[in-house]
Amino acid sequence: MKIAKKDWFFIGLIVVVVGVFYAISGEVRTKKVPYDDKHMKFYEAFQKGQGKIELDAQCPVCHNENGGVPFPKDHPVKPADGPMRCLFCHKFKQK
């Protein structure tokens, strides 16, 4: 079968769609917030309806480069970039 020009257009479209799904699934693979005693209060506050942006502001108390839990070298955002939306990338675990 000979592939016509308009078929190539559809093949290209499928490649793009698959690529977008792949990119989205990459975000979901990011490590989730551990369900342990250090992070429990965030799960509880979130269940009580507290906003994620407010909770994000509390992560740097422990997660910081000045003696706290350091970020990996290849972390996509650094504290110097300004306020970090931790929970936008690191989701809560489903129970």
Which one of 30, 51, 54, 93 is in contact with ligand HEC (CB under 6 A)?
30
Distance in angstroms (rounded) separating the CA atoms of residues 42 and 53: 12
- List residues bridging with 92 in a β-sheet: 33
Distance in angstroms (rounded) separating the CA atoms of residues 85 and 54: 10
Minimum Å gap between C-beta 17 and ligand HEC is 23
Kindly state whether residue 40 participates in binding ligand HEC, applying the rule CB under 6 A. Answer: no
| Three-state SS at 5 | helix
Q: Which stretch binds ligand HEC (CB under 6 A): 2-10, 13-21, 29-37?
A: 29-37
Q: Which stretch binds ligand HEC (CB under 6 A): 1-9, 11-19, 27-35?
A: 27-35
